[in-house]
Structure 1
Amino acid sequence: MVEGSMRQQWVWPAVLVAVVLTAAASLLARELYADDRAAPPPAAVLPSEGPLPAAEQPGHRDVRGTQDATQHPMYETVRQLLQTYFDAINGKNYARWQTTVTADRIKNMPETNWRASYRSTLDGSIVVYRIDTGPEDTARVMLRFISKQDVSDAPLELPVACIRWSVVFPMAIEDDVWKLAGGPTGASPQHEAC
């Protein structure tokens, strides 16, 4: 009887150890074989509302997004499109700019007008805040950015060297590619001096 009792005392700890080891092994396997597609979205930015020192304006040249924007399924498409758009303006490359906008926008902004409008412009601190998709392959992108320009090239209603813009860019699919479109949402941006 003593021998059977001792055997029973060892069975429960052995079963407990086996259960714990099995659970630990399954957790380890789950971590090792986790699906890479479940990786978190790119790190979002928390835009600063504070002014940039004059020497740092207009700020970073890469397009960034808030958490709301980076979680949208179109974010990477929008980010790449806007990066090309702003790189074209900053690089004074009209041909590159044409690849980012609809035919109507190109028609309304011939190269001579474009070069005159952006001759001294340098854009930065570009942050996408929100992306909204609409009907019939359309979308709207809310963003903020800073432009530096000669005062003579600034808008007539705000003749300053540094402007903080809050805009909504309409987008549309043209030739199976997303492009920045014209229209009333992009025609009246909010802007203020830096």
Structure 2
Amino acid sequence: MSVYCTSCGTRRTEPAKYCTQCEAGFEESRPTRSTEAPTSYGQGWYVGATVVLAVVVTLAIVGLNAMITRSVNGLIEDSSATGSGALGYKIDSNGYVVPAEGNPTTEEAPAFTPSPSEYETTEPTVEPTPEPEPTPTPEPTLGNELVSIAPEAAQDPAASAVVDLLTTYYKAINDHDYPTYQAQQTRAASALLTRSEFATGFRSTVNSDVVIQSLSRTDDGRLLAGVTFTSTQNAADGPKQQTCTHWSVGKFLKGQSPTLLIDKAPKSYKATFDPC
């Protein structure tokens, strides 16, 4: 008769015919080895193996956690020793990563204001434009070596044309150029002096220092130029035998600038002169 259950390995209690564990029937055969247990040890063996494996895994996890904690704390201590403060964290007793004491990362960082670099674009400072100072009106630069004009007379719109006309007129006398002399006068004025009279009257005359002193309008609309000049000549050709004479004359001009001509003076007009 079997001493152990052939299904679950439970020992048979005399004189039971059925297994008290799995209720399998015991064989009524003669056991070959009544002192040895079957190869199967039942559920108790699996439970024991599972407990042992769980203990081994738990010890492995605890050991690995301790190794990680020591490694992290060692890295933190090395960082603190070098003054770098790169980590600022540690592992607490529960295995959590927490800020280390005096961790500078928990303090509020000061605001950072970048300074402009040479690559940054900045708005240029615009200086206010100063108000320009009023430019004084320059005096007209009229005249030449022979004929000049007073500043007040130079303001007249016809001043430039008068300067050109009298320059040509007095130069023609100095050059004894009768055609040019005639061309500067109206027909009425040019008829007063023939070519022979011009040649005799101005044969030795040289005019200089011609100054246009004033410009005004006459009642009949003509332009009157008050002129002073100096003439040198032979005594026989000068007024009252004078070789140097200061003249003050009026030239009555007809026409419109720039085509002005010297016109005939009224009968009542007389030029004045003094010896030098």
Q: TM-score, normalised by structure 1?
A: 0.68
Going by fraction, where is strand more abundant, 1 or 2?
1
Equivalent residue for 1:147?
Answer: 231
User: Relative to structure 1, is the Cα distance of residues 165 and 92 closer, same or farther in structure 2, using a 3 angstrom cutoff?
Assistant: same
| Residue of structure 2 aligned with 1:65, choices 149, 169, 173 | 149
Equivalent residue for 1:171?
Answer: 253
Equivalent residue for 1:3?
Answer: none
1:115 aligns with 2:191: no
Query: What secondary structure, in the 3-state scheme, does the structure 1 residue paired with 2:156 have?
Result: coil
Provide the C-alpha distance between the structure 2 equivalents of 1:135 and 1:143, rounded to a whole number of angstroms: 19
Equivalent residue for 1:22?
Answer: 128
Answer with 1 or 2: which has the greater Rg: 2
Provide the C-alpha distance between the structure 2 equivalents of 1:146 and 1:178, rounded to a whole number of angstroms: 23
Going by fraction, where is helix more abundant, 1 or 2?
1
| CA RMSD in angstroms, aligned pairs only | 2.9
Deviation at 1:132, TM superposition (A): 0.6
User: Relative to structure 1, is the Cα distance of residues 44 and 91 closer, same or farther in structure 2, using a 3 angstrom cutoff?
Assistant: closer
- In the comparison of the two structures, how many residue pairs are matched? 151
The one-letter amino acid of 1:42's match is P
Query: What secondary structure, in the 3-state scheme, does the structure 1 residue paired with 2:172 have?
Result: helix
The one-letter amino acid of 1:22's match is P
Deviation at 1:61, TM superposition (A): 4.8
**Alignment check: 8 A CA contact 1:43 1:67 kept:** no
Provide the C-alpha distance between the structure 2 equivalents of 1:142 and 1:43, rounded to a whole number of angstroms: 19
Provide the C-alpha distance between the structure 1 equivalents of 2:190 and 2:218, rounded to a whole number of angstroms: 23
Query: What secondary structure, in the 3-state scheme, does the structure 1 residue paired with 2:241 have?
Result: coil
Q: Whose RCO is larger (CA < 8 A, sep 6+)?
A: 1
Provide the C-alpha distance between the structure 2 equivalents of 1:88 and 1:190, rounded to a whole number of angstroms: 22
User: Relative to structure 1, is the Cα distance of residues 137 and 187 closer, same or farther in structure 2, using a 3 angstrom cutoff?
Assistant: closer
Equivalent residue for 1:79?
Answer: 163
Identity of aligned residues (%): 21
Provide the C-alpha distance between the structure 2 equivalents of 1:123 and 1:152, rounded to a whole number of angstroms: 16
Residues 39-93 of structure 1 deviation map (CA, whole Å, 9 limit, x = unaligned): 6232479xxxxxxxxxxxxxx8510011111111111000000000001000100
**Alignment check: 8 A CA contact 1:44 1:66 kept:** no
Query: What secondary structure, in the 3-state scheme, does the structure 2 residue paired with 1:182 have?
Result: coil
**Alignment check: 8 A CA contact 1:88 1:94 kept:** yes
| Residue of structure 1 aligned with 2:172, choices 88, 101, 122 | 88
| Residue of structure 2 aligned with 1:40, choices 135, 138, 143 | 138
- Structure 2 residues without counterparts, runs of 5 or longer: 1-124
User: Relative to structure 1, is the Cα distance of residues 182 and 120 closer, same or farther in structure 2, using a 3 angstrom cutoff?
Assistant: same
User: Relative to structure 1, is the Cα distance of residues 189 and 151 closer, same or farther in structure 2, using a 3 angstrom cutoff?
Assistant: same
